[in-house]
Amino acid sequence: MFVIWPLASRQEREDFIRGSGIKDERIIECALNIPIAEFRPWEFQALPSFAAGVAEALRVKDTDKVLEIGTGTGYLTALLAILSRQVFTFEIRPTLAQFSRANLDATHYGTNVTVICADGSGGYPEEGPFDRIFVSGSVPAVPQPLLEQLGDGGTMLIAIQSGEKRELQLITRNGASFNQEAVGSAGMDPLLGKYGSPLTPGTTALNGRCHTFGCNPTAGACSRAGRKYRRWSRHLLRRTSRLTQD
């Protein structure tokens, strides 16, 4: 079943989410109630079925403090915010971070969310420990700082990349020990940052240029991606400005 999420009916979205294996009725209802069309640009948006799967795998509770690395448009962030006590979320791409803030504010899901534009691959030790951690990009190995910031009894969902294979791992902490369980495959891009894909030499995480795709700006594919990103950047800034003024 192919679904254009922002244009789909509520029933179509519900059928797809349930068909993806999601069982938790609270998560399904919350995912359906979030106005997905408001979380633009759609190209950077997490699929509602995937977002619901993340929340279900993490078993987010209303007392949890959550760390999300990779905000995107803020759709998954909104779902986590509804289900938990507090969310700290990192987005390394400046215009996307700005847009996600505007999305969350405009839809009134940002009251318990802090959006930070920075490299979040090493976590946020100032606010740790966290009850739940989700990393939206794949890494060659679990960053040690994230393990240290996972609270006792807490869980982390992260994709580990080995060659072309990306496997989702659910990590649970019990005192000083960690239980790691494979829960499925994932088509995630590599995580950007110190503990993921390195940024292009000579640039920073805040200038919004082509390095945000984690590749060589002189390569043809990256040049095309960079131009596309810069077009989106201009669009995002204009739309964010209008949302802020409203």
| CATH, residue 176 | 3.40.50.150
The helix (run of H) or strand (run of E) holding residue 231 is: helix 220-245
Side by side, the strands of the sheet bearing 165-174 are 113-116, 86-90, 65-69, 130-139, 150-162, 165-174, 177-185
With respect to residue 217, please indicate whether it lies within any of the assigned structural domains. no
- Judged against a pLDDT cut of 60, whether residue 17 lies above it is answered with yes
How many domains in the chain? 1
Cα 33 from chain centre? 19
Is 242 inside any structural domain? no
**pLDDT tens by residue, 21-34:** 999 999 999 999 99
Helix%, strand%, coil% for the chain, nearest 5: 40, 25, 35
Helix (H) or strand (E) holding 3: none
- Please check the confidence at residue 172 and state whether its pLDDT lies above 50: yes
Give φ, ψ of 131 to 5 degrees.
-80, -30
Whether 245 maps to a domain, the answer reads: no
Q: What's the average model confidence in pLDDT over 57-80?
A: 96
Contact 57, 156 (CB under 8 A): no
Angle of helix 10-19 versus helix 25-33 axis, rounded to 10: 140
Domain membership flag for residue 221:
no
- For residue 62, what pLDDT is reported? 96
Whether 188 is in a domain gets the answer: yes
Residue 244 placed within a domain: no
What is the predicted pLDDT for the residue at 245? Answer: 52
pLDDT in tens, 195-239: 987 654 333 333 332 222 233 333 333 334 444 444 544 444 454
Secondary structure element (H or E) that encloses residue 114, with its range: strand 113-116
Q: Considering the domain boundaries, does residue 139 fall inside one?
A: yes
pLDDT surpassing 90 at residue 105:
yes
- For 117-165, the pLDDT digits (tens) are 999 999 999 999 999 999 999 999 999 999 999 999 999 999 998 877 8
- Domain enclosing residue 159, as ranges: 5-197
- Per the domain annotation, does 123 fall within a domain? yes
